Amino acid sequence: MRHSVDNLNKPSMKIAAIICVLIIVMVCYFVFFKKNGEMKGPRPASEPVVEVMQVEKRDMMRHVVLSGKTVADANIALAPKYNGRVVKVNANLGDFVHEGDILLVQDTGDLDLSILQQEANTNAATADVTTQEANFHSDYILAERNYNIVEKDYERQKYLYSIGAISQGDLEDNEQIYLAAKAKLEALENQNNSSVLSKQYAAEKSQHATEALRKQRDDMILRAPRDGIIGYRNAEVGSYLNAGSKVFSLVDNSHVFVDCSISENDAAVLENGMNVNVTIDALGKNFTGKLIYVSPAMDETSKTYTARIELDIDKNTVKAGLFARSSIDILQRKDTIFITKEAVISRNGRTFVYVLKEDNTVEERDVKIGLLNDTEEEIISGLNAGDRIVMTNQDRLKDGMNVKIADKSNGEK
């Protein structure tokens, strides 16, 4: 019976022995190999590794980046001033036209008849003036002659009355004839300021009406207001055009500008007359130019300012609407101390930097900020030329802490 039990337990004991060996091997592996692996890996540094920069006085520059699109000197929409049917179109899309060239003609037949009729009315009114003036002068001459005769007779009658040759009644009758002749002459003199002038004004009014019709006829002929290229055309012979409807656009690329949107900080330092180099990627070319305009006030919609650059180009060599970019380096302050914005820390109402001391400890030093640009801040007080400031890892630093200086070529120093 005992022999049977021993035979039965032999396989189980073998399995148990194998399991024990495996457990021992695994324990040895984790203890020995993991320990060796940890020893071979990097040990955590107890002191923060930082990059430093030595402060020195230099000219502080502001790098202003400009980007925008090319803009033509003029892009003019042309439309008829009056309704009318088209009888002639002289310009095609892409044609170069000169100032004063006839682009389109509308039907002027009805206007031509109206002008002839109005010219006839003007001639008649002018003739009425001449007739009225002739009649006036004729009547005036007769009235003046009659007045002179009556006046002499009246003077003679007064003499006769004085010597008793005629009665007082005869003198009074003669006086009435004299006064009537005088009144008629004065009436004609006043008439010169009314009837003749009225005829003259009527003639002038008719003349102005004729000129207005001629001006309207001239406006039925659409002309180029300046030199340029036809960039839009929507007119055919026989079509009826409504007043104000766009039929042509005239693009003048003799001068090309680049309009750029800029921030208030950039607008504050840009000045008219600055020379720039402009790149137009679509053409693969660079152009020289000059800043000719910076808007004096912010656009309330976009909250930006506008700067305009005039390009130095040959006539009509650059199209409008192309993306263009440029930049300007502007001197903000000569011979001053400035550092990168990343080195400046604002915390709990303080503005400070970490200064590296000779014993490789850091000192928190309050600073006062002056001018700013996109990447740098001027230090008005708090730093001197020769100071070394910490540029990285400031969130791990405290005043008086030891640090290690990073060697950019080989890791830590």
Position 75 scores a pLDDT of 93
Q: Return the pLDDT at 2.
A: 43
Mean pLDDT for the stretch of residues 303-319: 89
Instruction: Identify whether the C-beta of residue 101 lies closer than 8 Å to the C-beta of residue 81.
Output: no
Residue range 110-218 forms a domain whose CATH class is mainly alpha
Is 284 exposed, middle or buried, given 0-12, 13-18 or 19+ CB atoms closer than 10 A?
Answer: exposed
- Give me the pLDDT at residue 140, please: 80
* Domain residue ranges of the chain, discontinuous segments joined by +: 1-41, 50-57+337-412, 110-218
Confidence (pLDDT) at 1: 43
- Using the predicted structure, report yes or no on whether residue 355 has a pLDDT greater than 70: yes
| Residue 171 burial (CB count, 10 A) | 15
Instruction: Give the mean pLDDT of 268-296.
Output: 93
User: Comparing 10-24, 308-322, 364-378, which segment has the lowest mean pLDDT?
Assistant: 10-24
* Residue 244, phi-psi category: left (phi > 0), alpha (psi -120 to 50), beta (remainder): left
Q: Which CATH number fits domain 50-57+337-412: 2.10.109.10, 3.40.50.720, 2.20.25.90, 2.40.420.20?
A: 2.40.420.20
pLDDT at 40 over 80: no
Q: What is the pLDDT of residue 12?
A: 64
**How would residue 111 be classed by pLDDT, with cut points 50, 70 and 90?**
very high
Q: What is the mean pLDDT of residues 240-247?
A: 96
Residue in 317, 266, 260 with CA at minimum distance from that of residue 287: 317
| Residue 157 pLDDT grade (very low, low, confident, very high; cuts 50, 70, 90) | confident
Confidence of residue 107 (pLDDT cuts 50, 70, 90): very high
d(CA 383, CA 367): 7
| Predicted confidence (pLDDT) per residue in 52-62, tens digit | 999 999 999 98
Report the C-alpha gap between 72 and 254 in whole angstroms: 8
Residue-level pLDDT at 4: 46
pLDDT higher than 50, residue 63? yes
